[in-house]
């Protein structure tokens, strides 16, 4: 059972008072969601289907929930007498508890330039114009899966650039592994962020992300992993038995990929004298690949040194692009300190000394799922149109204290103009196809997107353009 299943309470406190603040006879409030710019030139839209399914669909307003909200808010506010009981009871009586709201959005997985409309929301019952922005708080949380999908896709473009230049692009889907479950603020965050990453990559240790991709988007098996050590499994052998701990890994997992974190005591000693010394023969006769994981130090410096030592011990070949590749029995994964800024530094450092990006994979936790906030892509939800007493009017803000915070005006449409999606006013786009589709209306989910179509839409295709 969820502790957070009362839609009346999934909002900011101040919104409870807003129904008294709109002009009299406000029949419609129309709002939109966009990225106003920020770190990335594009955004990937992803995650709305989860919020619709989890919180908004079906009969979500009930007499019990109204009572609970009235009681809680009565104590929360200094003067609790303004609770909108009539408004909520109207939704129960007239709509069977289903929200009289229409949400349109770009199809999930769509990659769109910033400053375009991603989603619109409006009330479908003129008595419920107060409800549109009551839902802002919950709906805007879609900023998080959008941001993770966007950042992960940008990191994919970065890795793709180096693979195209120095190695094999076919390795791309497994080059950035999600280590982030423990580093995020909640299980729900792990699920949304983990699924968002899996739109772009196929490697993950974040099982919550897999569950969300399967249960909400019908994915089959969207992410894969391999046996891998953590420090506890190795250090419990004792410092004097580091070699035995490593040998045990090779014995227990005699074929396929196996990853072993190797910095418990002395990473370079482990690479040169244990993996590259005593265990060298066993590794070279193994039917599979040992993935060595450094986990401390300055990543570019450490990785150049580790590749150098492993090259000396296991040998290298030079590929058709002129870059060095380690013997196929050994590879490296860097999972410490990886974020969108460290990634290009490492790739530049290793390629500058002749190593192919094929040698290296990345793990990222906090950098992938938590080093983001709503400002990273400046997500905002603003009212752009209202109908008052039968008259539609533009609604917008234009603060002289920050021109970047100006909001759009009018009812909006996303149309294709000279091969590019552009946000225009509905009035200026008569007869043009709207790329926004109705996904929710009057309590029902109207359009669903499958995992595979979302991944296809977000696919990184033209690598060399980036
Ligand atoms: N996993 C690739 C498979 C996963 C992990 C998870 C935090 C893996 C490590 C590895 O190789 O080393 C959460 C830290 C590491």
**DSSP-assigned letters across all residues of 93-140:** HHHTT---EEEEEPPTT-EEETTSEEEEEEESSGGGTTHHHHTHHHHH
Q: Is 217 in the pocket of ligand 1 (CB under 6 A)?
A: no
Looking at residue 170, its pLDDT comes to 98
Q: Where are the domains of the chain?
A: 7-143+375-452, 147-369
Nearest-CA residue for ligand 1 atom 6 is: 179
Looking at residue 461, its pLDDT comes to 80
Beta strands 26-35 and 379-388: pairing type?
A: antiparallel
Name, in order, each residue with C-beta under 8 angstroms of 102's C-beta and a sequence gap of 6 or more: 121, 122, 123, 124, 438, 440, 441, 442
Q: Measured in angstroms, how far is the CA atom of residue 230 from the centroid of ligand 1?
A: 8
pLDDT in tens, the chain (466 residues): 799 999 999 999 999 999 999 999 999 999 999 999 999 999 999 999 999 999 999 999 999 999 999 999 999 999 878 999 999 999 999 999 999 999 999 999 999 999 999 999 999 999 999 999 999 999 999 999 999 999 999 999 999 999 999 999 999 999 999 999 999 999 999 999 999 999 999 999 999 999 999 999 999 999 999 999 999 999 999 999 999 999 999 999 999 999 999 999 999 999 999 999 999 999 999 999 999 999 999 999 999 999 999 999 999 999 999 999 999 999 999 999 999 999 999 999 999 999 999 999 999 999 999 999 999 999 999 999 999 999 999 999 999 999 888 899 999 999 999 899 999 999 999 999 999 999 999 999 998 999 999 999 999 985 544 4
Q: Measured in angstroms, how far is the CA atom of residue 262 from the centroid of ligand 1?
A: 12
Q: 114 — alpha (psi -120 to 50), left (phi > 0) or beta?
A: beta
Q: Measured in angstroms, how far is the CA atom of residue 205 from the centroid of ligand 1?
A: 6
Neighbours of 298 (CB within 10 A): 13
Neighbours of 378 (CB within 10 A): 17
Q: Is 248 in the pocket of ligand 1 (CB under 6 A)?
A: no
Q: Is 226 in the pocket of ligand 1 (CB under 6 A)?
A: yes
Looking at residue 464, its pLDDT comes to 45
Q: Is 179 in the pocket of ligand 1 (CB under 6 A)?
A: yes
Looking at residue 462, its pLDDT comes to 55
Do 121 and 441 touch, CB atoms closer than 8 A?
A: no
Looking at residue 465, its pLDDT comes to 44
Residue-wise pLDDT tens digits, 184-214: 999 999 999 999 999 999 999 999 999 999 9
Neighbours of 145 (CB within 10 A): 28
Paired tokens of 56? 């908004």
Q: Of 183, 292, 295, 363, which is best to mutate to test ligand 1, by the most ligand atoms within 8 angstroms of its C-beta?
A: 363
- Which architecture characterizes domain 147-369 according to CATH? Alpha-Beta Barrel (3.20)
Q: Measured in angstroms, how far is the CA atom of residue 203 from the centroid of ligand 1?
A: 10
Q: Is 333 in the pocket of ligand 1 (CB under 6 A)?
A: yes
Q: Measured in angstroms, how far is the CA atom of residue 87 from the centroid of ligand 1?
A: 51
Q: Is 362 in the pocket of ligand 1 (CB under 6 A)?
A: no
Neighbours of 348 (CB within 10 A): 11
Q: Measured in angstroms, how far is the CA atom of residue 365 from the centroid of ligand 1?
A: 10
Angle subtended at Cα 170 by Cα 165 and Cα 171, rounded to the nearest 5 degrees: 85
Q: Measured in angstroms, how far is the CA atom of residue 401 from the centroid of ligand 1?
A: 46
Looking at residue 466, its pLDDT comes to 40
The CATH code of domain 7-143+375-452 reads 3.20.140.10
Q: Is 335 in the pocket of ligand 1 (CB under 6 A)?
A: yes
């Amino acid at each position: 059972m969820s502790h957070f299943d009362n839609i009346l309470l999934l909002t900011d406190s101040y919104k409870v008072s807003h129904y008294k603040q709109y002009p009299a006879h406000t029949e419609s409030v129309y709002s939109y969601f966009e990225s106003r710019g920020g770190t990335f030139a594009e955004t990937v839209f992803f995650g709305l289907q989860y919020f619709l399914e989890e919180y908004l669909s079906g009969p979500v307003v009930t007499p019990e929930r109204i009572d609970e909200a009235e009681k809680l808010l009565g104590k929360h506010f200094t003067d609790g007498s303004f609770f909108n009981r009539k408004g909520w009871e109207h939704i129960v009586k007239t709509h069977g508890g289903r929200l009289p709201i229409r949400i349109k959005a770009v199809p999930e997985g769509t990659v769109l330039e910033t400053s375009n409309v991603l989603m619109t929301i409006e009330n479908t019952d003129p008595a419920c114009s107060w409800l549109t922005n009551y839902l802002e708080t919950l709906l805007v949380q879609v900023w998080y899966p959008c941001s993770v999908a966007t950042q992960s896709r940008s990191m994919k473009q970065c890795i793709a650039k180096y693979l195209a230049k120095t190695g094999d692009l076919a390795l791309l889907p497994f080059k950035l592994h999600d280590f982030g479950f423990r580093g995020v603020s909640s299980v729900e965050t792990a699920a949304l962020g983990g699924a968002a990453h899996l739109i772009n990559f196929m490697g993950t240790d974040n099982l919550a992300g897999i569950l969300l991709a399967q249960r909400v988007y019908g994915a089959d098996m969207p992410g894969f992993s391999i046996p891998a050590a953590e420090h506890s499994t190795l250090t419990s052998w004792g410092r004097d038995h580091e070699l035995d701990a490593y040998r045990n890994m090779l014995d227990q997992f005699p074929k396929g990929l196996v990853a072993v974190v190797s910095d418990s005591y002395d990473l370079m000693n482990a690479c040169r004298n244990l993996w590259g010394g005593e265990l060298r023969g066993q590794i070279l006769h193994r039917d599979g690949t040992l993935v060595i994981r450094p986990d401390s130090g300055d990543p570019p410096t450490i990785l150049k040194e580790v590749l150098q030592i492993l090259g000396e011990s296991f040998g290298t070949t030079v590929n058709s692009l002129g870059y060095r590749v380690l013997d196929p029995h050994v590879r490296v994964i860097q999972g410490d300190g990886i974020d969108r800024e460290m990634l290009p530094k490492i790739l530049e450092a290793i390629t500058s000394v002749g190593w192919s990006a094929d040698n290296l994979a990345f793990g990222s936790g906090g950098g992938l799922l938590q080093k983001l906030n709503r400002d990273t892509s400046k997500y905002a939800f603003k009212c752009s149109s209202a109908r008052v007493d039968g008259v539609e009017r533009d609604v917008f803000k234009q603060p002289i204290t920050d021109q970047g915070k100006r909001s759009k005006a009018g009812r909006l449409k996303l149309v294709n103009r000279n091969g590019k999606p552009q946000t225009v006013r509905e009035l200026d786009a008569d007869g043009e196809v709207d790329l926004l589709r109705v996904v929710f209306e009057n309590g029902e989910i109207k359009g669903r997107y499958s995992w595979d179509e979302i991944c296809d839409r977000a696919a990184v295709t033209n690598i060399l353009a980036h």
